Amino acid sequence: MKTRFFMLLLLGGFIFGTFFISGCKQNKPMQVRQIPLEDFFKNPEKSRFQISPDGKYFSFMGPYESRMNIFVQEIGSDTAIRLTSEKDRDIAGYFWKSPTRIVFLKDTGGDENFKLYGVNTDGSNLKCFTDFPKVRTEIIDDLYDFPDELIIGLNKRNPEVFDPYRLNIITGEMKLLAENPGNIQGWILDHAGKLRAATAIVDGINTQLLYREKESDKFKPVLTTNFKESVSPLLFTFDNKNIFAASNLGRDKAAIVVFDIANGKELELVYENKDYDVSDLTWSRLNKKLIAVNYESWKLERYYLDEEGKQMYEKIQKQLGNYSFGITSLTRAEDKFMIRAYSDRSLGGYYVYDKTKDTLQKIAEIAPWLKEDELATMEPVEYLTRDSLKINGYITLPVGYTMETAKNLPVVVNPHGGPWARDGWYFNPEIQFLANRGYAVLQMNFRGSTGYGRNFWEKSFKQWGLTMQDDVTDGTKWLIDKGIADPKRIAIYGGSYGGYATLQGIVREPGLYAAAVDYVGVSNLFTFLKTIPPYWKPMLDMMYEMVGNPITDSLQFVATSPALNADKMKTPLFVAQGKNDPRVNIAESDQMVDALKKRGITVEYMIKDNEGHGFHNEENRFDFYRAMEKFLSQYLK
């Protein structure tokens, strides 16, 4: 039910051998097995488990012809049925719609024009519901209480906006619920499955909350704010009169509130945290009550609103120990739950929790070939920037090192994508791969990263390549000052916005980094804003305020577009790009590579014709990380 605006630019995401590292407390070398590259990046045998609404089956995604497909297995049985047979590309996502039918999304070659399919749990009646060329399907509401229906959004009528449709997943019949006037970004349904509210953009940079009492009524605006302030509806209250929302109106950190949707005013504060935004709720459909508020500090935390729910979560936590966990699905009776447990050193596994029996049954481990004691610990860190802003981040040191014993290590600095996203504490195969190869890895939640409040977010506005880049540089220099980083062996690597930060890093600091890896990154702010997907265009004025306007900020864009400043680069560069990328057009990488080659700068370029914004096909991931490993080894010996 959240608007799509804050999902902009998100990515929203192996050879046997032995090497030696020094730096243990006795300063003796420690023998560490070099884990095969493929073990980090190959498709799991089973993942994305869900439990059926009646609790009789579980489903999962597993490889078929090297592509992730959907399987269903009866609980207690050893045999699974494969429902799909995709060979070109992994299925993007799926969920149970009823005890007998599953729906899933799939695009072509990474173009992100997802089509919606349905299939029975015995493999029959496979049907594509939205087989329209160059049209993207979005799930607006899963209509959990209506087994045969879904609310979907399609930009079929106008590629820039999504109209809501009620879809019958048995017959394929679709009914248009409302025609998007051109500015609505989100649609909200009540618990009766009625379309009652919407969020819109007006005047380019203001957001508006719309409401109607009945579906036969016209929507009317009830609240208009600048986009920097927001009331993001999460769900209707259980009497269908008001809404629970994440709101930063009159406060810096987003809080959970009860909001009078008809009159546009806050009624009650449910929970707020003085340090972090809170924007996610856990709730019971069956018992019609809120269970917990979820938020991220340096890792996932919960504030409980219900004692019974708290006791259940604590029972699960006790059995899982130090692993973090979440619930991926549950039965309609809310007596069985599919649990995903994980840590910084483990992709974790899936469990079925039986609430009645208080039993936790392990169903599968996602990557059993990776052993936790061979993997590195991800530690939270913080540092101050040159303008005294506190930046939170993470450091992952090769196994055997601590912050006290790590000295003069080769380092990979890894700014995240988004940029309005954040890094968190969880298993990251890239980070573990690099640590296993002997590199320390620094991740930082630079200004603009989400979860730290409105003021911290706004500090990033029109600061691409400027103070946002300073935050990355200051983190790198912090590692050097602590003696952890060898100043001559530091690389910078990132994807999407992180790719931009990589390129801008070697423009701004040509002597700081020994190597750079740009993965689907922006290189020219002028062309980037001209080639965004059509469904981002209603938000273009916001982008102008957040990134900059190519006309009024043209001088700044010239100074902060890496492709226009290739003359300042001297760092060896490796660029990887998907040909079909709808977010960061391939022209971004082409012009960067061309500009460097004209100057005789070392640049390697990898293009994958069947990929988009990031490499999803297994063989392409292998190619990329194999080339990246060789590249980093060459320059960070």
Q: Which residues are catalytic?
A: 496, 581, 613
Give the Å distances, CA to CA, from 8 to 3, 106, 111.
Answer: 10, 20, 16
User: Would you tell me how many other CB atoms lie within 10 Å of the CB of residue 106?
Assistant: 19
Q: Is 415 helix (H, G, I), strand (E, B) or coil?
A: coil
Closest CA to 614 of 36, 9, 3: 9
Strand pairing category for 409-413 and 440-445? parallel
Closest CA to 519 of 4, 1, 13, 12: 13
Instruction: Produce one character per residue of 146-173: b if its CB has 16 or more CB atoms within 10 Å, e if not.
Output: bbebbbbbbbbeeebbbbbbbbebbeee
Taking each helix axis from N to C end, the angle separating 497-508 and 467-481, rounded to the nearest 10 degrees, works out to 70
Cα–Cα distance between 149 and 126 in angstroms, integer? 16
**Alpha-carbon distance 197 to 242, whole Å?**
11
Give the rounded distance of the alpha carbon of 6 from its chain centre.
11
Q: Where are the beta strands (DSSP E) in 512-565?
A: 515-519
Which residue type occupies 249? L
Beta bridge partners of 198: 187, 210
> What 3-state class would DSSP assign to 496?
coil
Name the residue type at position 433. F
**Across the strands, what pairs with 57?**
74
Strands 409-413, 485-495: pairing is parallel
- Distance from C-alpha of 407 to C-alpha of 590, rounded to nearest angstrom: 38
Q: Are 179 and 198 in contact (CB under 8 A)?
A: no
For 519-531, the three-class secondary structure string (H helix, E strand, C coil) is ECCCCCHHHHHHC
Give CA–CA dist 524/505, Å, rounded: 14
Length of the chain: 637
DSSP assignment of 255-310 equals EEEEEETTTTEEEEEEE--SSS---EEEEETTTTEEEEEEEESSSEEEEES-HHHH
Residue pair 103/169 in contact by the 8 Å Cβ criterion: yes
Dihedral (Cα; 611, 617, 618, 623), 10-degree rounding: -10
Residue whose tokens read 């912090």: 478
- Please state, in angstroms and rounded to a whole number, the distance separating the CA atoms of residues 544 and 534: 16
DSSP 137-202: EEEEE--TT-TTEEEEEE-SS-TTS-EEEEEETTT--EEE-----S-EEEEEE-TTS-EEEEEEEE
Would the CA dihedral through 443, 621, 593, 520 be positive or negative?
negative
